[in-house]
Amino acid sequence: MKHLVYILFSKKLNRFYIGYTSNIEQRMAFHEQAESHKFTSNAKDWELFLKIECASKMQALAVEKHIKKMKSKLYIQNLKIYPEMRIKLLYKYNQGSPR
C-alpha cells in the first residue's frame, strides 16, 4: 500500500490543497465530484501539483501536518523545485511520529 501526501492547485482560486491518501486515483475522483460543503468544491480546475511517497501512514500524516503548518505557497512551490527539501522532510519524519 502506498502512502502519499498530495498537493493540488487551483488556478481559479490561486490556492493549494494538501491531503493524505493511500489511493491517489480514488482521491482525485473524490475531489472532482466534491459536494458543496467540501473545500475543493469551490473550483473545478484542481490539478495534481505534487505527490510525496511516504514509508508509512504515520509518516505521511506527519509530513502533511508539517506542510499545512507552514502556511506558505512559497514553501510548497519550493518543495516541487528542490527535491532535497522533500528528502529532508521525509528524513525528519522517518519514524512517523509528528514533532
* Domain residue ranges of the chain, discontinuous segments joined by +: 3-92
Per-residue pLDDT band for 98 (boundaries 50, 70, 90) equals very low
Name which of 55, 64, 62 is nearest 27 in CA terms: 64
The pLDDT score that the predictor gives to residue 36 is 66
- Provide the CATH number for the domain formed by 3-92 in this structure: 3.40.1440
pTM for the model stands at: 0.90
C-alpha cell at 71: 502556511
Pairwise CA distance, residues 22 & 1, whole Å: 7
**Lowest model confidence (mean pLDDT) among 24-38, 43-57, 60-74:** 24-38
Per-residue pLDDT at 89 exceeds 90 = yes
How high does pLDDT run on average in the chain?
A: 91
47 or 34, higher pLDDT: 47
